[in-house]
Structure formats: structure tokens, C-alpha cells
Amino acid sequence: MSTTALRGFMTRVSGGLGLAWLLTSAACAALPTAPDSETAEPAYTAVGASDAIAIGASVSCLPFVACPTGTGYVQIIDRHLKAGSRGFELLNLGIPGAVLSPRIQALSRSYGPRVDLNFLERELPFVDRDSLLVTVFAGGNDTNVIARSVSGESNGNARAYIDAQVDAFAAELASLVDGIRGRAPKSRIVIANLPNYAGAPFTRNYTSMEKRVLQQISVGFSVEAINPLASRPNVAVVDLLCDDRMYQSSSYSSDGFHPNDKGYAVMAEKMLAAYETPSYAAPRASCGRMSIVPSL
């Protein structure tokens, strides 16, 4: 891909942050201050961004505020767990706009919108040590930050640049999972991979080249970084990439990026199944959704 073809892309890919980015300052003010918050009850910890507080749902939530009627996947899972015989306490660490790592956060400072928080530094240290379930949904905001950076950072070789970004993301995500395991050794870690964002509604007016960039990043994150984690003990990977429901406009909110109630219900259904099924199936090795547009 030429630099000229990509230059206009920097200002186009903004759906992944949107309202989530605008809420980041509110999240900063409410961040937990004690890294060892433990509960007497078994806990469910959610690690995520705006998805974790149900942005796009009919009942969305504020960061770090109890939201029992929320209609996002975290709130649905929480209600299901609380209804069980053991009861669970929810620790929702979702921070709107957050990305996985300081590295991607630094990229956002050059290619905007600026991201002020990341999972490794501001969510991982607070994972409840009593967690029996930790859900993780990472990579959506990261996909958009990296896509905006391609024209300025790739030196005319977009594919090689994105491949390097995927490799770095994989190492950082593995560090996140290792850290969660260290803090909550009894937890079942359930991670959702990403849809191919080339097929998401927010890209409806994007050029084919812009979609090819998003495809390489999001599919790369899923196939190279997230899916291999299914081989780890007590880790399950939920396959959104190959689920046709995650490509239906009816599963998304008006911004075309965040799921709506229907989309979040799909995520909750799959994550609960992954938590409750010890031998939960690994993601598919291939499917048509991995190549919605031609490769770079």
C-alpha cells in the first residue's frame, strides 16, 4: 500500500474510540487506588474498555459504578453468576478508550485521539485475587490506533509494519494473561477474539484499501495473538471472528462499532459457555470471515 493511499486514513478510523474516548477523563477520576482489593465472596473481574461498561447498549453504565440493570455482556454475565448457588462479586475494570499497552498508548499521542490509559498498567494490577472468572476483550481500540498510524510509520510497507504490530500485541497480551494468572491463580480466563473489522458496519463508507488495513490488523490480532492462548491451562478463547452474528448490522449500535443489546447478548452467551465448559472448543482455524476483502 502506498503512503499516498493511506494518508487520508489517519482521520477516518475513529469509530473504535468515539464516545469511549470522551469518557476517559471520567474514568481517570474514579480509578481504584488499592491494588489488592479482595472480597470474601468469589469474584468476577472484567478487563476491557468501553465494551465492559456496555457503551452502545440500551442501558449503558459509568466506569466503576454498580450497574445491575446494564445490558452489556459483563452485566449479563454478572446477573447470571449472582443467580447461582455460590454468588459472585463483580469487579468491572472497564475503562472507556483504553488500549492494551503503553506502546499503543504512545502511538495514540501521535495519531490521535489521545488515549490516556492501558490494560497492563491500569487494569491488571487491580484484578481481584479471589476471581474465579476473568473476562478479557482487548484489541478493538488498538486496531484503530494502529490503523491510523500506518501511513506515518510503515515507510511504504504497510504489511510488514502491521505484522510487527501484531507480534508486539501478541507478546503484550501474553503478559496480561500471565499477570492475571499470577494475581488470580484459581480463575478461569475467558478471552474473546475480534471480529474482522473490515466487515463491521462502521466501515461501510471506507475504501477497499482502508478495509484491507483493518482486516490485517484485527484478523492478525485474533489468529496470531488471541487464539493461541486457548492452549493454556484454564484459558478459553471465545470465537467472535467466525461468528456470523457479529457481522449483522442488527448486532451493532448506531456508531457501527460498539455492539448493541443483541451483540452483547451474543458475547455473554459465548463467554458464559466458555466459563462453564471445561473442554470448551478452541476457535476455528479458518473461516470465510477471515478474508472479507483481499489481503494487503
pLDDT averaged per 10 residues in sequence order, the chain, 296 residues: 38 42 45 49 96 98 96 98 90 98 96 93 98 98 97 95 98 98 98 98 96 98 98 98 98 98 98 97 97 96
Query: CA 76, 54, 15, 217 torsion: positive or negative?
Result: negative
d(CA 203, CA 213): 11
Q: H or E stretch including 43?
A: strand 43-47
Backbone angles phi, psi at 105, to 5 degrees: -60, -40
User: Residue 258 is placed in which grid cell?
Assistant: 460498539
pLDDT value at residue 291: 98
SS (H, E, C) 16-27: CCHHHHHCHHHH
What is the domain partition of the chain in residue ranges? 3-31+39-281
Q: Which long-range contacts (CB under 8 A, 24 or more apart) does 247-254 make?
A: 247/195, 247/196, 247/199, 247/200, 247/289, 249/201, 252/56, 252/200, 252/201, 252/202, 253/55, 253/56, 253/57, 254/56
Residue keyed to cell 452489556: 72
> Could you give the CA distance from residue 138 to residue 97 in angstroms, rounded to a whole number?
11
Pick the CATH number of 3-31+39-281 from 1.10.10.60, 3.90.245.10, 3.40.50.300, 3.40.50.1110: 3.40.50.1110
Residues 6+ apart with CB under 8 A from 88: 41, 42, 43, 44, 78, 81, 82, 132, 133
Q: Which pLDDT does position 84 carry in this prediction?
A: 87
Amino acid at 78: D
pLDDT digits over 14-30, tens only? 444 444 444 444 444 45
CA distances from 62 to 137, 142, 151, 256 (A): 18, 21, 35, 21
Give the burial class of 224: count Cβ atoms within 10 A of its Cβ; 0-12 exposed, 13-18 middle, 19 or more buried. middle
* pLDDT at position 32: 54
Which pTM was predicted?
A: 0.89
